[in-house]
Structure 1
């Protein structure tokens, strides 16, 4: 019967691209790694890698490695929570939030949570929506806050909606235009795509997105790229709260250019009392300060 140690060996080989590199990573001998892979293939009844060098996974191997990662991440999260409980009597909470939430609501939520004398350790991941949805779906985190497209295994509690903005340098000619910027004004401009763009289905914008010169997932990277004059992009209006020297956030003449943000958790999983309390604090803070940040509840 397979065990976690065997799955760790498999994932190490898949990620390092070979038996010797994997052996160095996990401090095992190459022969021990090879034996473990053979045991797994015998157990499953199928080849995990193509060829003897173990540098490329088969389709079956890719399937097994994906599930092995899920299992290992879940095991590691449980171990961290148990260890935290041993030290503080309350365990730990693992969450993932959008960068704009990290800059605005997270600090006050943490302050309130600690003020309630909650001893649980809070572990925060700063990710984009796609990564957060994947982490929730794979049960790597207790809950997340992200833009959301409905999935059957995820429970979504709507938090707010906000307009998207066109991000340009302060010396960009678009800053001289009166009123919201129409998509047609970007027709000949180099555009930097990102995950937010997936939620805009206006034909005029899709034509612009198809001609993007690059795609970036990190908000910090996007802001830096625009600041260097390489191109322009679209980001949530809330992003400007973090400090955007040298940049302007311009309104867009498109009612569909918005993002809807929800608190996400696994529909088939009960959160711990500490995780549920922290989620409630975050929801209450967003509701109280929505107008301040120009959000629609």
Structure 2
């Protein structure tokens, strides 16, 4: 059976007559009648009951039509995909984002992509420890969203676009502070407390080297959301994206540390990043402009 036969079946069911289907499909009534008979012969059962004023689907015909309509819809989607691919749209757009960034930043741009490029599949990849940059450098993703420092340019040939500010804060749970004699006010006081520290960044950045706090117990995690839960549980202090703990700070579950001569806050930026040596497809270019 052919796609045209299925379209003819749907037209007859919709109009309730051979003449109506012939008018819809711009064919003669005899051509529709012959095509319907051939389809019923191939199916092996009657699709319509001709005894009434209008042609009515038989129970088997109703079930057959439901599946036929799905085939017709899939064919229409395939035509749309073919048209978009002919225009050069990517079959798949691969987007990586660092877990320290709020994925809500992508929502409006993704919604716009769905409308502008309905045939492009969107693949979202959450990453930790700046692995987004490695994926971009190695061509595993098309666009990335991650914290950005100018020094990262030595890691690869990147183009970037500013999205929003990004702040790292030093925090401790109010419960742990109470258990250990109050909120630490000196660098030395931190040495007696466990430190929740991200694993070394994929771009070679070591927080150990930056913070220079030898001796204390460390708990290393590769996910900022897990780090937040450990901080809330009072398992140590740590440096974490402020937007991830803003609510906990406002509610008093966490306290931000302010120690003279020590890292209290670090001001960074969230950037959209892509490899400069690759030509962006239209969907990737659309995301770049929208975000």
TM-score, scaled to structure 1:
0.53
Equivalent-residue separation in structure 2 for 1:150 and 1:165 (angstroms): 24
2:195 corresponds to 1:186: no
Distance of 1:161 and 1:200 partners within structure 2? 20
> 1:233 deviation in Å?
1.6
Conserved 8 A contact 1:136-1:154: no
In the other structure, the counterpart of 2:231 is 226
Name the CA distance, whole Å, in 1 between partners of 2:275 and 2:154.
10
Distance in 1 (CA, whole Å) between partners of 2:246 and 2:106 is: 13
Residues paired across the two proteins, number? 195
Kept in 1: contact 2:95–2:142 (CA 8 A): yes
Aligned-pair distance for 1:151? 2.6
- Give the conservation status (yes or no) of the 8 Å contact 2:94–2:124: yes
Per-residue displacement from partner, 1:180-219 (whole Å, max 9, x unpaired)? x66444222100111588476886x2225x6442211112
Give the one of 217, 221, 224 matched to 1:216: 221
1: CA distance between counterparts of 2:130 and 2:158? 16
Residue 224 of structure 1: CA displacement? 2.2
Write out per-residue CA displacement over residues 15-45 of structure 1, whole angstroms, 9 at most, x where no aligned residue: xxxxxxxxxxxxxxxxxxxxxxxxxxxxxxx
Superposed displacement of residue 249, structure 1: 5.5
TM-score, normalization: structure 2?
0.54
Instruction: Return the offset for 1:250.
Output: 1.6
**Structure 2 Cα separation of the partners of residues 281 and 100 of structure 1:** 21
Q: Which has the larger radius of gyration?
A: 2
Q: 1:142 — aligned with what?
A: 142
CA distance in 2, matches of 1:137, 1:131: 10
Structure 2: gaps (5+ residues): 1-79
Partner of 1:257: 266
- Structure 2 distance, partners of 1:267, 1:158, is 12
Distance 1:111 1:151 in 2: 33
Instruction: Tell me which residue corresponds to 1:130.
Output: 130
- Pairs within 5 Å for 1:97-176: 97-114=97-114, 116-119=115-118, 120-148=120-148, 149-151=152-154, 153-159=156-162, 160-173=164-177
User: Structure 2 vs 1, CA of residues 106 and 200 (structure 1 numbering), >3 Å: closer, same or farther?
Assistant: same
Q: CA-atom RMSD, angstroms? A: 3.7
Question: Contact 2:197 / 2:220 at 8 angstroms: preserved in 1?
Answer: yes
